[in-house]
Amino acid sequence: MGAQDEPRPPGFFAAFEPNSPRVELGSTRVRAARSKDVLAVARVAAGRFAGLDEGAAQLEGRAAAQVDRFERTLTPSDGSLPGVPRLFVAEAGLDGGAPKVVGYGTLFVFTAELRERAGRDLGLDPAAQGDGQLAPVGWYLGGLVVARAARRGGLGRALTAARLAALDAAGVTEVRFTANARNSATLALHEPFGFQVEARNPRMSGLAFSGGEGLLLLRRKP
Ligand SMILES: CC(C)(COP(=O)(O)OP(=O)(O)OC[C@H]1O[C@@H](n2cnc3c(N)ncnc32)[C@H](O)[C@@H]1OP(=O)(O)O)[C@@H](O)C(=O)NCCC(=O)NCCS
């Protein structure tokens, strides 16, 4: 999550290509991240901006600037379900090389405290649950990014399945995520998991949708 008002390069959202063939990535693995993965995760996040930055040094700087954020994701302080990993990584050995982190997915909890604070920041009434303005308290799928070279190989789906399985195992019955309404690729990815649109243009602190169109999607376990 974060303010999304900085310039974005082409490919920041994957182009919607429903009929593209699957890409064969060879051996892949999705697992809970460890501290030593954080820089690699930050590099994947920074790689989303490739094409906007001029070169490797700038991308590396962008990655370094995100390390603290992912450290905090890895070791959250909200006290919610401490056994549930908050950061998952996907590894693949691209071009026959050794396996390396090429994707990540996060989980986060929008706590009552965060919601109160968001309400104050945004001038919204935190008591107005379910009015579609201020996002509801609960578990959210957070950032999901797969490096461009590894897209369409099933890793985005696998990272999502792993995060949902962790929440299912912990007895969490409602999971949400927010997406830009124009990000058709991610909407297509999540749809088979049972997500449905719950609200449009939800608000959280620091969350803005480029183009102004945001969706809040909910998966409710029967
Ligand atoms: C969205 C993203 C994570 C998908 O990762 P991925 O590893 O390429 O996705 P998968 O290969 O697991 O795709 C699973 C399914 O999602 C859908 N999908 C994924 N990418 C798609 C695309 N570009 N166009 C259309 N459908 C797409 C398809 O239904 C696909 O199944 P299929 O390949 O059998 O047709 C990746 O494109 C990405 O990092 N995008 C930029 C960051 C972003 O937008 N993140 C989402 C924020 S909510």
pLDDT of residue 115: 87
pLDDT at 222 over 90: no
How many angstroms separate the alpha carbon of residue 143 from the centre of ligand 1? 13
* Domain contains 19: no
Count of other CB atoms within 10 angstroms of residue 22: 8
pLDDT of residue 210: 62
Nearest atom, ligand 1, residue 158 CA = 12
* Domain contains 18: no
* Domain contains 1: no
Mean pLDDT confidence for 140-169: 97
pLDDT of residue 9: 73
* Residue of 22, 43, 44, 157 with the most ligand 1 atoms within 8 Å of its CB, for mutation: 157
* Domain contains 123: yes
Task: Provide the whole-model pTM.
Answer: 0.93
* Domain contains 12: no
- pLDDT tens per residue across span 86-108: 999 999 998 888 899 999 999 99
Name the average pLDDT for the chain: 88
* Domain contains 141: yes
Specify the 3-state DSSP secondary structure of 142: strand
- pLDDT tens per residue across span 7-55: 677 778 899 999 999 999 989 999 999 999 999 999 999 999 887 656 8
- pLDDT tens per residue across span 104-127: 999 999 999 988 888 888 787 777
Q: What is the CATH number of the domain that holds 165?
A: 3.40.630.30
Helix H or strand E segment including 162 = helix 155-169
* Residue 33 structural domain: 28-220
By C-alpha distance, which of 119, 91, 96 is closest to 28?
91
Q: What are the DSSP calls for 64-123, one per residue?
A: HTTHHHHHHHHS-SS-S-TTS-SEEEEEE-GGG---EEEEEEEEEEE-HHHHHHHHHHHT
Tally of domains in the chain: 1
* Domain contains 20: no
Give the whole-angstrom CA distance, residue 69 versus residue 192.
30
* Domain contains 147: yes
pLDDT of residue 49: 86
Give the whole-angstrom CA distance, residue 152 versus residue 150.
7
For ligand 1, atom 47: residue with the closest CA: 144
